[in-house]
Every structure is written in C-alpha cells, then in structure tokens.
Chain A
Amino acid sequence: DAGVIQSPRHEVTEMGQEVTLRCKPISGHDYLFWYRQTMMRGLELLIYFNNNVPIDDSGMPEDRFSAKMPNASFSTLKIQPSEPRDSAVYFCASSLALRGGRPYFGPGTRLTVL
C-alpha cells in the first residue's frame, strides 16, 4: 500500500488567495483526520471524518477553513482567503475503525502564505 498520499507537498501563495490541500487515505480506512502543525502550537487536530461524514470540526480555526470528503478515497482542506498566520505543515492521517486503530500520517503539505 502506498500509505496516505497528500498533495501538494509544498505550497507558497499570497495572502488572500484560495488554497486547496488534498488527501488520499489508505484504502479501507474508515477515519480521516486533518492536523496542523506549527512551532508555537504543536500538532492540532482540525477536523475528522468517519465514513466520509464530518464528526468533529471544533478544531477548525475559523470560517475561512473548510473540509470535505466526497468519497472514501479523497478529502480536501480549503482555506479561503488565506492569511500569513495559516502558514504551517498540514497533515492528513487515516485509521481503521477498530479498537485501538492508530492513525497513519501522510507526508504533509508545507504551506507558506506570504
């Protein structure tokens, strides 16, 4: 299995632009997570899905952030409009809905908003 796939790996954009991050979870995994990592705040959960349904989005910082999972093999995290404080590494992770199923992380997308 190729593991969790994220694209792009690096994104540099200007303030105000729309940014879309993409994730393909491991086939057969029921849960998908979006995390953001910064030096100041560490690794934070933004939102997670179970069977393509958003379960908890309380970590999404504000309305500029939105996430979708139209099917079991694809999810997007969109920031519109982007701001410099959104600069971070965004990780997608997926896991099985089994007792103790641990998340497998993708390689991350490093976002820089100028």
Chain B
Amino acid sequence: EDKVVQSPLSLVVHEGDTVTLNCSYEVTNFRSLLWYKQEKKAPTFLFMLTSSGIEKKSGRLSSILDKKELFSILNITATQTGDSAIYLCAVEAYNAGNMLTFGGGTRLMVKP
C-alpha cells in the first residue's frame, strides 16, 4: 500500500523565519510528488516534482525531491502570516491513473 508521511505535524514560527517541511513516501512505480497549500478552503497547487535534485522555486517557496532516499522538502523563507496553512504532500504512481495518495499534512502557523 502506498504511504506518505509528513513531518512535523505542526509548526509555529515568527514572521521572517525560514521553515522546512518534510515529506517521505513509499510508493510502487513512483511518477510524481506534489505539494499543496490548504487554507480555509480547497488545496491549491504549489509544485509538482518528478526528477531528483532539481529545485522548483516560486517566490519564497522552493521544493526538491530525492528519489533515492524517497523524500521531498518544502522550504519557505522569510515567512509571512499569510503562509499560515496546512501544507499537503501527495504522490502519484504510474499504474494509478491520476490518483494521488496524500500525507496527513503539516499545519504551519506564522506569528507576527
């Protein structure tokens, strides 16, 4: 059974801090790993990673995948209160259509 584990479960930081969120996975026939941000509504897409070692970047957010060690990290630099959300990691397998297996999420709170 495919499995995705995120850590930490929750995190409280102050504005300006840098945070690193972790996602480890066990999946047969891995195809891609996705990061989503969820505030008080539906998850919104952040990144899709398919290749090891290639950093994806969007503003203060960046992410990288290690397919050998089976994990990904999501970095947020110079955090802002608007970054407060649940961050979800999901993996997709080749033989599973477009079906995703989600981790439990990391709840990030950024204090002023």
Residues of A within 8 A of B (CB): 31, 33, 42-45, 48, 50, 55-56, 91, 95-97, 99-108
Query: Can you give 20 contacting A-B residue pairs, CB < 8 Å?
Result: A31-B97, A33-B98, A33-B100, A42-B102, A42-B105, A45-B102, A48-B99, A56-B99, A91-B43, A97-B98, A99-B31, A100-B48, A101-B98, A102-B34, A105-B42, A105-B43, A105-B44, A106-B42, A107-B42, A108-B42
- The interface residues of chain A lying within 8 Å CB-to-CB of B68 are none
Kindly report which residue of chain A lies nearest to residue B99, judged by CB atoms: A48
Main SS of the interface on chain A?
A: strand
- Chain A residues positioned under 8 Å from B7 (CB to CB): none
Q: How far is the CA of A102 from the CA of B66 in the complex (A)?
A: 20
Give A99 to B97 CA distance when docked, in angstroms: 9
- CA separation between A1 and B32, bound complex, in Å? 26
- Measured between beta carbons, the chain A residues less than 8 angstroms from B98 are 31, 33, 48, 95-97, 101-103
Which B residues touch A56, using CB under 8 A? 96-97, 99
Interface residues of B in 50-74 (CB under 8 A from A): 50
Judging by beta carbons under 8 Å apart, are A102 and B42 in contact?
A: no
